[in-house]
Amino acid sequence: MTAPPLVCECQRMTAVLRKLGAQHAARMHEIMTVDTQHPWSVRDWLAHFSEEERFIFPIMLQHGMRDHVLKLARDHASFREQFRRSGTADKALLEAHAELEDRLVLQLEPYIL
């Protein structure tokens, strides 16, 4: 039997993001507690990426997650380019990115809260 995939633990993520100062990202997770299919705008995603880079990446680096930060940063650059070119990004890749990022952030939860 395989473990079910991690669904965003939005309430925990919201608390962690707020504590780090990533208010826009926290608001997105807060909305997902009631609307998992919310249609996020390019502006929402760009703000979310910027906050992750500013508030989350540094703490990941402090806890030895350099390789993950590099991968996530490459993803952000790719998504920004997709948004610039077409106004959209590959939804499956965005979801996979978000799931990885959520897993990593929740690993850091004890150090943040």
Tens digits of per-residue pLDDT, 68-111? 999 999 999 999 999 999 999 998 999 899 899 999 999 999 99
Can you tell me the distance from the alpha carbon of 27 to that of 15, in angstroms, rounded to the nearest whole number?
Answer: 10
* CB 72, CB 100: distance < 8 Å: yes
Q: What per-residue confidence (pLDDT) applies to 8?
A: 54
pLDDT bin (cut points 50, 70, 90) of residue 5 is: very low
pTM summary value: 0.85
Can you tell me the distance from the alpha carbon of 59 to that of 82, in angstroms, rounded to the nearest whole number?
Answer: 27
Half-sphere exposure of 59 (CA within 13 A, CB side): 22
Q: What per-residue confidence (pLDDT) applies to 39?
A: 86
Half-sphere exposure of 102 (CA within 13 A, CB side): 22
